C-alpha cells in the first residue's frame, strides 16, 4: 500500500504545467494520486501546452500512465460528476488535496462550500475532515473579492500557495521555474523530493 494518497485537481487557471509536473513527481515518489479535472483545464492545456487532454477520465488516465509510467494502482482519474469516487466522501478522504492551478471561480466555490462538482466537493471534504488542502491560485491583479476568499480559506487552515518562482536558485529554464513551485507544493503535502537545493545547503 502507498504511504500517502493525494488528490490533485486541475482547473481552468493558467498554470497547467505546474499541475502535470506535480502529478509526475508525486507518482515518481510512490504516492497514490487521485486526479480530478475540469473542462476548462482541457482548454487551458490546449492553449498553454498544445495538449489535447482526453475528455473521458479513463482515456486521460491512460494518457497519464503512458506519460509517467506509474506503479500499478497508484493513479486514478475521476470525472467531475463521479459522486461515488473516493474523494467525494469524508469516510475515505485523501491525506491531502492540491488544486493546481486553482481558478478564482473554483477558489470562490470552495470558500462558499457550494460542492457543485467533484473538485469542489473533494475540497469541502478536505476542510471538514481537517486534511491538508493546498490551493495554487494564478491570477493578476487580485481583486478584493479574490483576497477576501483567500483570507477566509486561510483562516480555516487552507494553504494558499501562489505559483511565484524564486530567482535565488538561478533558474536556467522554464522547467526550473516550474520545479521551484512544485517543490514548494511537495513540501506542503509532506512528500520528499530533490527538485532543488534547500536554503543554506551546498549547491554543489
DSSP result, 87-151: GG-TTS--SEEEEEEE-HHHHHHHHHT---SHHHHHHHHHHHTT-EEEEEE--SSPPHHHHHHHH
Annotated binding site for dimethylallyl phosphate: 168, 184
Distance of CA 195 to the CA centre of its chain: 17
Residue 151 sits at φ, ψ, to 5 deg, of -65, -40
Q: Which helix (H) or strand (E) holds 21?
A: helix 16-28
Annotated binding site: 12-14, 38, 103-106, 138, 168, 184
170-190 burial code (b ≥16 CB/10 A, e <16): ebeeeeebbbbbbbbbbebbe
The reply to whether omega before 42 is within 30° of 0 (cis) is no
Q: Which residues contact 151 (CB under 8 A, 6 or more apart)?
A: none
Beta strands (DSSP E) in 150-199 are: 159-160
For residue 92 the three cell numbers come to 475515505
Annotated binding site for FMN: 12-14, 38, 103-106, 138
Amino acid at each position: 500500500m502507498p504511504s500517502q494518497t493525494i488528490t490533485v485537481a486541475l482547473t481552468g487557471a493558467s498554470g497547467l504545467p505546474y499541475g502535470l509536473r506535480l502529478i509526475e513527481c508525486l507518482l515518481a515518489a510512490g504516492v497514490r494520486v487521485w486526479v480530478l479535472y475540469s473542462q476548462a483545464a482541457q482548454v487551458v492545456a490546449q492553449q498553454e501546452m498544445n495538449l489535447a487532454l482526453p475528455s473521458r477520465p479513463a482515456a486521460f488516465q491512460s494518457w497519464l500512465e503512458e506519460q509517467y509510467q506509474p506503479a500499478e494502482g497508484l493513479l486514478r482519474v475521476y470525472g467531475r460528476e463521479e459522486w461515488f469516487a473516493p474523494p467525494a466522501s469524508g469516510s475515505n478522504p485523501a491525506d491531502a488535496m492540491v488544486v493546481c492551478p486553482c481558478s478564482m471561480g473554483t477558489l470562490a466555490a470552495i470558500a462558499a462550500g457550494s460542492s457543485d462538482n467533484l473538485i469542489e466537493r473533494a475540497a469541502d471534504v478536505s476542510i471538514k475532515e481537517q486534511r491538508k488542502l493546498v490551493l495554487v491560485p494564478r491570477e493578476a491583479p487580485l481583486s478584493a473579492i479574490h483576497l477576501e476568499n483567500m483570507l477566509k480559506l486561510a483562516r480555516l487552515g487552507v494553504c494558499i500557495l501562489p505559483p511565484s518562482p524564486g530567482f535565488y536558485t538561478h533558474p536556467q529554464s522554464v522547467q526550473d521555474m516550474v520545479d521551484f513551485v512544485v517543490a514548494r507544493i511537495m513540501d506542503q503535502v509532506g512528500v520528499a523530493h530533490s527538485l532543488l537545493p534547500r536554503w543554506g545547503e551546498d549547491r554543489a
